[in-house]
């Protein structure tokens, strides 16, 4: 059992929680809580840490999951004291279980299966928004998420928690240029791209989304840059009543993708 908060592994895990650079260099991220640990593919698990109190109160089903992890060759399981768990965890009240997980490597081709529906995100900064887009995107049938390189880090612990496990199933990539990527998607793969924009001439529910499509969502405060928006096939408008001009970025993504999902179901 690890009982010292000065342990080198403990310090490294605490660094993974706080620093994107450390996560990127080692190709890992942190997952907390048994609900999220259940979602992790075993082949991506590198290390699992539990407290004695957690193990004492664990359900039979979850005990079986941990035993299955322990019997695999990919992960190491270690007990730690409550103080050590608090030192490692990102949450204020740790749940007694924490995992170090390998980052998955996705490619654009993973997203372009039959009749793709993509989210293209530019400079989203709020971790909760980004995580919610992964979660709702999965629910709407989004086949992949393309993000600009200046985005919030998808492996930020707050983003990971907000995805509710979708981060393990939703293909995603970062790209250096959103405009170039959008143009290539249309030219090479026939993907029609719709930019959520206040200057849209068509309401979002007046368009046919049965074919390969992508929805572009911009920064929470400034929206899409002109270069990115102009690369889209078309602007679309989410009409608003009252005095508000626009809605939350994650809500906009949900409205657009679930409209496409509704059409495709019918």
Task: Tell me which H or E stretch contains 146.
Answer: strand 144-148
Q: Determine the Cα–Cα distance for residues 148 and 55; give it in Å rounded to an integer.
A: 41
- Angle at alpha carbon of residue 170, lines to 165 and 174, rounded to 5°: 120
Q: pLDDT-derived band of residue 201, with 50, 70 and 90 as boundaries?
A: confident
| pTM beyond 0.85 | yes
- Ranking 99-103, 160-164, 185-189, 241-245 by mean pLDDT, the lowest is 241-245
- Four-way CATH pick for 108-265: 3.40.630.10, 3.30.1280.10, 3.90.1150.10, 3.40.1280.10: 3.40.1280.10
pLDDT on residue 48: 96
Angle at 70 between CA 66 and CA 74, to 5 degrees: 120
Cα-based distances in Å from 94 to 1, 39, 46, 89: 17, 18, 19, 6
CATH 3.40.1280.10 maps onto the chain at 108-265
Mean of the pLDDT values across residues 24-46? 95
Q: Superfamily for 8-102? A: Ribosomal protein L30/S12 (3.30.1330.30)
Q: How far apart are CA 48 and CA 76, in angstroms?
A: 6
Q: In this model, does residue 251 exceed pLDDT 80?
A: yes
Listed in order, the ranges of the chain carrying CATH 3.30.1330.30 are: 8-102
Does the structure show a pLDDT above 80 at 42?
yes
pLDDT higher than 80, residue 8: yes
Q: What is the pLDDT of residues 105-147, one digit of tens each?
A: 999 999 998 899 999 999 999 999 999 999 999 999 999 999 9
């Amino acid at each position: 059992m690890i009982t010292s908060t000065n342990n080198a592994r403990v310090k490294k895990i605490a660094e993974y929680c706080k620093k994107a650079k450390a996560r990127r260099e080692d190709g890992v991220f942190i997952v907390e809580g048994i609900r999220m640990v259940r979602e992790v593919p075993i082949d991506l698990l590198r290390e699992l840490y539990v407290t004695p109190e957690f193990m004492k109160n664990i359900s039979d089903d979850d005990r079986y999951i941990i035993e299955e992890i322990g019997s695999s060759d990919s992960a190491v399981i270690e007990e730690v004291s409550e103080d050590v768990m608090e030192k490692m965890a990102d949450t204020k009240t740790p749940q007694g279980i924490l995992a170090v997980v390998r980052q998955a490597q996705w490619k654009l081709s993973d997203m372009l299966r039959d009749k793709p529906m993509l989210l293209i995100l530019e400079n989203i900064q709020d971790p909760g928004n980004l995580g919610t887009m992964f979660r709702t995107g999965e629910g709407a049938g989004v086949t992949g998420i393309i993000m600009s390189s200046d985005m919030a880090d998808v492996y930020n612990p707050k983003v990971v928690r907000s995805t509710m496990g979708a981060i393990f199933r939703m293909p995603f990539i970062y790209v250096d240029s959103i405009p170039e990527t959008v143009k290539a998607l249309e030219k090479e793969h026939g993907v029609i791209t719709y930019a959520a924009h206040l200057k849209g001439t068509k309401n979002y529910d007046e368009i046919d989304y049965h074919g390969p499509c992508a929805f572009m969502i911009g920064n929470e405060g400034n929206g899409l840059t002109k270069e990115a928006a102009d690369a889209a096939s078309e602007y679309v408008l989410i009409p608003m009543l009252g005095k508000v001009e626009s809605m939350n970025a994650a809500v906009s993504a949900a409205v657009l993708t679930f409209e496409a999902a509704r059409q495709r179901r019918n």
